[in-house]
Structure formats: C-alpha cells, structure tokens
Amino acid sequence: MDLAPEAAAKALLYASLLLAIGANATRWLLAPRLLSSARNDSSEFAVALARICALAALVMLGAQAARAVAHTASAFGWSDALAWDQFSVIALESRWGTSWRIQVAAAVFLLVATLFVRVHQLGGWILTSIAAVACAVSMPLLGHAATSPFGMFLHSAHILGAGVWLGTLGCLLLLRRHESTNLLRHFAPFALAGAAMVVGAGSIAAIEYVVSVDQLWTTPYGRALVVKLCCFAGVVFCGYRNWSRWSVLPAGAVSDRRTEILESALALAIVLITSVLTELPHP
C-alpha cells in the first residue's frame, strides 16, 4: 500500500491542528499580556488569531476529505476513490469511518466556534478552545494509540504540548507586526511547558512502541523515529538560542527571524515525519 497520499493528508492535518491549538494558547496565555494601554492592539491581535484558527479549521476539513479519499484508494484503487459507492463504504460504513466522522465533526465545531468569536469574543474563544481540545483528543482515534485509553491520553498530550509550543510559535511568526520582544519573553516559559509535555508523552510512547534499542536502526519505524528525534533536538537548540537572545534584547527591539524560521522549518519536518510514523507498523 502506498503510504504517501495518506501521510501527506495527515501531515496537513497535524500542521493545521497545531496552528489551531497555538492560536488558542496565544489568545489565553499571551494576548492578555499585551500592554493594557494598547487595548485596540490587543483586540486586533485577538481578531487576527481568530482568523488563523478559522483558516486552520478549513484546512483541517480539506485534509480530512483528502485523507478519506486516500483511504478509499488504498482499499479500492485510485480509479474508484471518488466513486460514491466505494467512498461511502469507507467513510460511512466502516469502523475507520466512524472515527473519521468524529474528527470531521470536531473540525466543523472548531470552524463554527471561530465564527462565533465575532458575535461574542469571550464566549467564542471558550468554545474555540474546547473545540481545539476535542480535535486533539479525536486525532489518536485513527492511529496506533486507538487500541488503549492510555495510548489515547499519551498521544493527545503529545499533540496539545506541540500545539502550545510550536503552534504558538507559528502564530507569533504569522502575526509578526503585533509582536514585541516583551511578548516573546512571555512565550518562553509556555514554550518550555509545551516542550516538556511533548518530551514526557513522546518518551513514554516510544518506550512502549520500541521494545529494544536495535529496532531504532533495524526497522523502518525505528529509523523514522531517530530522524524525528534529530529534528526535535534541532528545534530545542533553536528554541534555546531564541530564548537567550530575547532575554537580553531591550524592550521593543526587533529580534532576528532566522533562527525562528529555522525552528519552524524543523517543526514542519517533525510534522511530516510524524505523519509517516503513524502509518508505519510497530516493530
């Protein structure tokens, strides 16, 4: 079976979900820390975050559709992937389709919640955050972790931690004109907390899936995991470099984007590798 189409759709799904989680983390953890004297700036910042979250939800829905088509193709071939009779078997009648529909419903909930932000900002953001968590919790339903509640918990925590860390960084880069060195300094402890969740949950999951050290280089899953760990080490190094630079810059100074962009690029590489890992059999 060709893993590339489903892995590509899953990579897009993970990337958009991390950005949605990051938008919510930024709204609750960083937006209130903008100077109170810049109330208009803070409001504009929150609206821009809602736009990012809405776009992420739309991309998630598109990725879910592509994923269902790819899964249909893996069962019936690409010539019948768009035929309703075959597609409905996968999306509406199979056990895989049951979990897939839960994920689609969570993404629709997220999109509607972001639209509600314009009607009532506080209530809309509460709903949006609940929807983002629902999306994260539903993700492991179609993967290795679906077989156990503990695995579901680990993968959900892994995704939420990555969203708080890397998704928030992505939002800060996208909303650069709102950014200040002071805001980046506030980001550092939350990035550390998110990274700790990623390391903790990921380490336990890796120990469960890789039962012997030699499997790290003798199995496709192990080799992909090693590449992911190398990219992760690069992200950690970039994050530390960013933090050490932000801590000495004067308030209002413009930081160097090169390391931040490299960190984001490595984070995207991690997303791509993770999408492949979830399609590979365990050792």
Q: What is the pLDDT along the chain (283 residues), one digit of tens a residue?
A: 467 888 999 999 999 999 999 999 999 998 887 654 444 456 778 888 999 999 999 999 999 999 999 999 999 999 888 999 999 999 999 999 999 999 999 999 999 999 999 889 899 999 999 999 999 999 999 887 888 889 999 999 999 999 999 999 899 888 876 555 567 778 888 998 999 999 999 999 988 888 888 999 999 999 999 999 999 999 999 888 877 776 666 655 556 677 878 888 999 999 999 999 888 887 7
DSSP state of 37: G
Instruction: Judge whether 175 lies within some domain.
Output: yes
Contact 183, 33 (CB under 8 A): yes
Hey, what amino acid is at 177? Answer: R
Instruction: Judge whether 19 lies within some domain.
Output: yes
pLDDT at residue number 282: 75
Instruction: Judge whether 135 lies within some domain.
Output: yes
pTM: 0.93
Instruction: Judge whether 188 lies within some domain.
Output: yes
Q: Count the domains in the chain.
A: 1
Instruction: Judge whether 282 lies within some domain.
Output: no
Name 86's Cβ contacts closer than 8 Å, sequence gap at least 6.
72, 75, 76, 80
pLDDT at residue number 91: 95
User: How big is the chain, counted in residues?
Assistant: 283
Alpha helix segments (H runs only) across the chain: 4-25, 39-76, 84-88, 95-116, 121-138, 149-162, 168-174, 181-209, 215-218, 220-246, 257-277
Instruction: Judge whether 283 lies within some domain.
Output: no
What span, in angstroms and rounded, lies between the C-alpha atoms of 270 and 169? 15
Q: In terms of Cα–Cα distance, which of 247, 226, 239, 242 is closest to 267?
A: 239
Q: In terms of Cα–Cα distance, which of 104, 126, 120 is closest to 24?
A: 126
pLDDT at residue number 37: 41
